[in-house]
Structure 1
Amino acid sequence: MSYGVFQEYYFENWTLQGSQSETGIIGTTQNGVMYLSMPFLFALFTKRWARWRQTAALCGTALTCVSFILSSFSTDVWHLIITQGVLAALGCALTYSPTTLSLGEWFQAKTRTENSGVNRAVAYGVVLSSKNIVGSTCPFIFRALLDHYDFRMALRIWTAIVGGTSLVGIAMIHAHPSSMVVSSSSHRAPAIPWKFLTHKTFYIYSVAIIFQSAGYGIPQTYINQFASEVTMLSQTWATLLLTLFNVPGIIASSFFGYLSDNKAFPLSAATVSSIPPISSALSALLFWGVTSRGSTALLVIFSMTFGFFSSGYSATWGGFLNSLESEAAQWNEAIDPGMLYGLLNGARGIGYVSGGLAGVPLLKAGSGSGGRFAYGTAYGPLIIFTGLTSILGGWVLVWKLEKWLHRESQHS
């Protein structure tokens, strides 16, 4: 969430071997590897190995800490890519996956007639808002560390913070009793139901997630660098932009989780999930694209609006799960929400990696550009890519409209 601070630092204080442009793929690679590994980890800890979830999370924390320590000794760009982009990501996923499975079990989906308690989509939204809380504070922590030390000492201090906070968090999270019964049973755990893979709805949601995620990581990686090079903002302002990018997501995750529960507003999962990516696309194309030197206000508006809508997108996945569970119930099929959530995260990983790999050549493609607005700078192709992928991420609304038109034509 805060890698842009390091990205800017690497460019301004280059002491490594290798290509500077390759540092742009570290942040998106980390997110990509993290999410790509989740389907396998969710399958592993969903039932039979549920009692090992806390142990796995502790191992993940240890791997993350070791990775950041090794990263602090890097002398070449590929060292950072391996340690921060791959190893630390695997450690984070090993911490995140078991604990998220427990969350999904404690908060189950409810029918519309149930009014008590908290629904799963709201629970996911509230918990996911924590990443934006961290993303709002860490830019200033990283900036302070980098201003007083070099990136090596900053990473070592960050290792201590990660280790301490993770241990406290893991100690507070326990697996649901139902999963523990299956895990400790001598009988073989039920096989994971894969029937949902035959339904078109799952693939439509997955492809939408891939497109949205491909553009989501671009501003987080390059906004600091853009603010410094194009709009000529100070380091303090550049850091503030990344914070403004994350602060609205604190509210957005809970808000879109609430919408996905479909209690007060009769909106389908497809409709709710289309609002964030389409709004993000408009923000990128209308605000970021027309930013020029000294256009601080436009860049602030872009950071806040894009951050609000793009951060709230993952909170709509609770609605995805509810929708797919309802579809499975109609066909009298079994479904495992935990495994399903892991596969959706895998789709997000594909998007992150794709966006990260596309970012480097896109930045090079625009390096010879010249113009008044951001479209005419080296970041022009990145902005267009962000807008187009975000629009494609909202295509579930088109699919929903197609189904509605088809139903109306049958009625007429």
Structure 2
Amino acid sequence: MTKFNLFHSSQGKTLTNSSASSVQEKTEKTAAHHHTKRRASSRRSSYDSAIQGNGVVLAKNERYDAAHHDHAHHSRPASINAPFEDGVVMESGIRGYLVVFGGFLIILAAIGYVSIYGIFQSQYTDIYAAKGASASSVSFVGSLAVGFQFGFTIISGPVMNRFGYKVVLWSGTIVGSLGLLLASWATELWHLYLTQGVMFGIGVSLLNLAATAIPPLWYAKNRSLAMGICFCGAGVGGLVLGFIIPALINAVGIYWTLRIFAIFHFVCTAFASLVMRAPRQLSGPPIDIRKDTINLQILKDPGFMLWFISAALFGFAYVVPFTYVPSYAKDVVGLDPNVQGGQLLSIMSAANAVGRVMIGIAADRIGAIRVATFTFVAAGASCFIWMFSHSYGALVGFAIVHGFFSGGFFTLVASITANIVGLTHLGSGLTIIFLTNTPGNLFTLPIAGKIVDSVGGYKAMVGYNAAMYLGTGLLLCILMFYNHYTKRVDAI
């Protein structure tokens, strides 16, 4: 009897322990389930704010339902899942590389035009000088293109938010290519204003916004490097086109060159429009269209205002050397603007391509604002080499140094803006920064042309260019110390 009681007591303890263990196991499973739900909810919330803040609209076939998240997350290889923000898992891998390549092609064909516009400028000056046009009036063709590239962002931003980035990409492809094609039949200077200026500028604005807004969504750790690879397309485009465009002009003339360039532009940007898209969301409900395109509240941030003014000054600086180096080579050094002038632009563009990638790598390791400050000061200092260049060799030295440092803005604009205002306001920040670039890009070439024609010649014009770069660097230096003083270490 005693044995039975002992056995019964032992069995009771065993059953009790088993029940307790079962209850504990259920409790742990329930807690784990709730923890998983909280993590999924956090991912959805972070993803919503990040994507909506960038103004990117995902098509229905680019969304994963929340119910399929667990299967999608666990069935996909780990190599194509990359962290985005606060644990959100974003699609990456080969699709991310294709997006960067698409951005590279857009920048090559669209922004690369800015690098070689000096060749067109020299041709148009010769053609329309006989009709009484001044150098500043001819340079307004390039100013309109670059001005609309940034100024039309106030329209292209809402268009992307309302209709999606695919509409923006294809619209930019068609409008930009058509502008170049119609320019080939221009007989008056105002024809070029409307076609190669306004139409092409609108096309570039649409394409540039997508190429700037989409790639950062795919990368977190190497975001500046990804943008550097995209925007080195401008340097590569200038390098390639700097040799091809003069050869085409000599072979078939300026107007057939424009037609060939229009076809080249269409092929590059059409391919990019096919492959570029936002990353698929691996969890969360469908993303709603964001209505508030520009959040003006970020203008109350003193740090953003310093970045705002810096970007405005940079707008007066960048395009001047790429436009006036061929003319300087002809008028001051006595070189052929189509041969040696084109070679100088190609050298500057090659250095620009290398510099944009290296600047991106440095920014990911040192800090975007630190690197940008140094590059602007270096670009401004290099203008003094240009000011005292009286030989082809000296101009080559200037082209290498200036080309390497002058493209930092385009590589770092998304990273600096995101560091200051956060990813949730990146779309608004980029729109405002591009808008503030507009006055400088619109008026700097006529100002430079007026300085050359009637004020102080090329030396005064180069001094004006150096002052714009150095002023930009000074303001960024102030921004860097302001962020350090306010303990915003992530925005340095």
Q: TM-score, normalised by structure 1?
A: 0.82
- Corresponding letter in the other structure for 1:348: N
Contact 2:375/2:408, CA 8 A, preserved across alignment = yes
Which residue does 1:336 correspond to in 2?
A: 425
Structure 1 residue 100: deviation in Å?
A: 3.0
- Structure 1, unmatched stretches of 5+, are 109-117, 329-333, 370-377
Residues 91-134 of structure 1: CA deviation (Å, up to 9, x unaligned): 122223234322122224xxxxxxxxx42222111111111111
Contact 1:278/1:391, CA 8 A, preserved across alignment = yes
Structure 1 residue 349: deviation in Å?
A: 2.5
Counting only pairs closer than 5 Å after superposition, residues 278-297 of structure 1 correspond to structure 2 as 278-285=377-384, 287-292=385-390, 295-297=391-393
Structure-2 separation of matches of 1:180 and 1:76 = 56
Counting only pairs closer than 5 Å after superposition, residues 42-81 of structure 1 correspond to structure 2 as 42-46=157-161, 48-50=162-164, 53-81=165-193
Which residue does 1:225 correspond to in 2?
A: 327
Pair 360,60 (structure 1): closer, same or farther in 2 beyond 3 Å: same
SS at 1:224 equivalent:
helix
Structure 1 residue 42: deviation in Å?
A: 2.7
- Structure 2, unmatched stretches of 5+, are 1-114, 488-492
Structure 1 residue 398: deviation in Å?
A: 3.9
- Aligned match for 1:24, one of 126, 133, 139: 139
Which residue does 2:302 correspond to in 1?
A: 200
Matched, 1:152 2:266: no
Figure out how many residues of one structure are paired with residues of the other and give that number: 370
Structure 1 residue 220: deviation in Å?
A: 0.8
Contact 2:414/2:426, CA 8 A, preserved across alignment = no
Structure-2 separation of matches of 1:181 and 1:64 = 37
Matched, 1:310 2:406: yes
Please give the root-mean-square deviation of Cα atoms over the aligned residues, in Å.
Answer: 2.7
Structure-1 separation of matches of 2:435 and 2:484 = 31
Structure-1 separation of matches of 2:251 and 2:284 = 51
Matched, 1:245 2:348: yes
Contact 2:418/2:425, CA 8 A, preserved across alignment = no
- Aligned match for 1:379, one of 451, 458, 465: 458
Which residue does 1:105 correspond to in 2?
A: 217
Structure 1 residue 154: deviation in Å?
A: 1.1
Residues 322-359 of structure 1: CA deviation (Å, up to 9, x unaligned): 4214xx5xxxxx83213322322222233211312312
Structure 1 residue 314: deviation in Å?
A: 2.0
Which residue does 2:276 correspond to in 1?
A: 173
Contact 1:132/1:249, CA 8 A, preserved across alignment = yes
Which residue does 1:331 correspond to in 2?
A: none
Which residue does 1:375 correspond to in 2?
A: none
Which stretch of the first structure deviates more once superposed, 94-103 or 84-93? 94-103
Structure-2 separation of matches of 1:400 and 1:344 = 15
- Corresponding letter in the other structure for 1:9: Q
- Aligned match for 1:11, one of 110, 117, 125: 125
Which stretch of the first structure deviates more once superposed, 169-178 or 304-313? 169-178
Which stretch of the first structure deviates more once superposed, 223-232 or 34-43? 34-43
Which residue does 2:78 correspond to in 1?
A: none
Residues 265-288 of structure 1: CA deviation (Å, up to 9, x unaligned): 3x4x43222112111111112x11
Contact 2:216/2:414, CA 8 A, preserved across alignment = no
Q: TM-score, normalised by structure 2?
A: 0.69
Which residue does 1:394 correspond to in 2?
A: 473
Structure 1 residue 240: deviation in Å?
A: 0.5
